A and B are shown apart, each in its own frame.
Chain A
Amino acid sequence: MDRSTQQFAIRVKNLTVGFGRRIILDRLSLDVRRGEIIGLVGASGGGKSVLMRTIIGLIPRRSGEIEVMGESISSAADHATQAVAGQWGVLFQYGALFSSLTARQNIQFPLREKLALSEELLDEIATAKLEMVGLSPEDGDKFPSELSGGMTKRVALARALALDPAIVFLDEPTSGLDPIAAGDFDTLIKTLQKTLGLTVFMVTHDLASLNIVCDRVAALADGKIVAIGPMRDLLRSEHPWVRAYFHGKRSLMLQPKAS
């Protein structure tokens, strides 16, 4: 293992992704360091989720290279990719919980598949994860159709974190959560990152979360990363879209802290 793979959890080089004639990502390059929380911002429909899904191998790419934990990624069906998949947890935008399993079984599913654990320990771990994401043990027996939007998100996070993966991909994790829950969520992510050395790749529009949790923020516009760096650098960025994003009315709360 050379130094660069030690240092970077995800390396994306000259990635091009398009559907039909439309090019979504155009020779995009992005490096994510190990143990950092990176936030990805971009316009709606601008390719944030596409970038995330391409990195985890769900969307085929036109050209370019992707490395996750030093392994190159091809498609989700590929064996090497599936081996790397053991090292990441993904929180999908709408939860993507298995609807025929209860919340607890959803969380236990990756544990059961990858590890040999006793039923008792499986239950304890699942309950622990449920409580860590702010749910009660009783919620574990509910089916996904009986959960509210925020609860679904938390269960999905608990499932993504079930194996304490090295990298977590979060697709709009705090959307649809109340500010208290979103704040708890931020704290949780920060705690896990400190303890487990977790690398977090977060697609989000939540300015507060970007400001508080993210070590670096990457801005995606016109199919490229137009600005990347700590929040205060982005606030100073001259790119018109980035300026519009961080200096709009809703972003005023960021200003005093930044100056």
Chain B
Amino acid sequence: MATAPQLTATATGDGLELRPSGSWIAANAGALETLSRAVAPQLARAKFLKLDLGGVSELDTLGAWLLEKLSRQMAADGRPAEVVGIAENHAGLIEAVRRVNRRNPPPPAPGNPVIARVEQIGRSAWSARDDIAVFLRMLGSLCVALLGIVRRPRALRLTSTVYQLYRVGWQAIPIILLITFLIGAIIAQQGIFHFRKFGADSYVVDMVGILVLRELGVLIVAIMVAGRSGSAYTAELGSMKMREEIDALSTMGLDPVSVLILPRVLALVVALPILTFIGSMAALYGGGLVAWFYGGMGPSIFIARLHEAVSVTHFQVGMIKAPFMALVIGIVACGEGLRVKGSAESLGKQTTTSVVKSIFLVIVLDGLFAVFFASIGM
């Protein structure tokens, strides 16, 4: 059984005789490393080395390597090293260890940290070009797939589309209702609280109505959908990519874009306007409730004021934006999914990127739409 390892060093004239004994196994790794370090100065002075392994009771790869290293240090300077007393059952392992580590792997090139940092910034800036290319390519192949559907409507994967619609639309309704209801209520409460100071609390209805219908309804819903469904798309497509499922599809002569991506993006484009409508109504409802209980404005007055304050234009502005935002979310999510490489880490990274990028683009798009609608007077 395991005994404590020892390394006895005896100087014989100019030479050195080392007698390791006990268990030279991984369980004693710490002690073994100390032992073999301790003889290093003697080893450096010695003209020749005799390594007597007679006392070694147990040996494994780690121990064999440490002993091999001792004799190799001598051999490196051309000094003779002799290994004796190898037990029969250890011979194979010692022979195997003698063959390894002959070639040192090239050391990693030392880099200037400042230059490395600058290089990293440069590379990530340059990769923005890739991002745009990926986005445009995905948009292009979606358009091609869509044209194919227009020519041959039967090619549409209806089951898949409906299933995706169920997942990203129907199943998202409860959480969308809850969040937008709360947002509407909070805006109304804040409005009443601050407008009351100069007696303008009835204008809260204008603020809630315009803000929710024009901007916030669609924005909140798009952000929720990007986090909820966009990330799911990226993770699904990414793990399919990792397990070569997408390659399998292509080799069967099927286009992954029309089989996997088009149904997903179509489902988002259909679902987001519906969710936006539901979300906006929930927000108005939340605002109305707060106005009633906190602001003392009855429902009939709220509705009458709302009728005066908002026009169909505000509603249209919000709804027009929704499908475009869905398209951006879908393209980014699917594009990032296809960029997943082999590792689990890359799947996580790409999913994060997908959500961050689609939320960023949704907000940028909202800004562009604001400029656009302002200039056409909507």
Give the B-binding residues of A (Cβ under 8 A).
99-100, 111, 114-118, 121, 124-125, 127-129, 131-132, 136-138, 140-141, 143-146, 161, 163-164, 188, 191-192, 194-197
Contact = CB atoms under 8 A, between A and B. Distances in A.
A195 B90 contact: yes
A128 B61 contact: yes
B350 to A, nearest CB: 13
Given A100-B344, A132-B61, A164-B62, A127 B105 contact: yes
B101 A191 contact: no
B342 interface: yes
B34 to A, nearest CB: 10
Contacts, number: 82
Main secondary structure on chain B at its contact with chain A? helix
A116 B92 contact: no
A131 B102 CA distance: 10
Residue among A115, A146, A188, A195 having the largest count of chain B Cβ atoms under 10 Å: A195
A131 B69 contact: no
B93 A137 contact: no
A125 B89 contact: no
B33 interface: yes
A100 B100 contact: no
A216 to B, nearest CB: 20
B59 A121 contact: no
A118 B106 CA distance: 19
A100 B105 contact: no
Given A115-B26, A137-B103, A138-B106, 8 more contacts: A99-B345, A117-B30, A127-B105, A131-B101, A132-B61, A194-B89, A195-B59, A196-B60
B144 interface: no
Contacts of A118: 33
Contacts of B101: 124, 127-128, 131, 137
B104 interface: yes
Interface in B79-132: 89-90, 92-93, 96-97, 99-101, 103-106
Nearest to A130: B100
Contacts of B93: 191-192, 195-196
Contact of B343 (A129, A131, A132, A143): A143
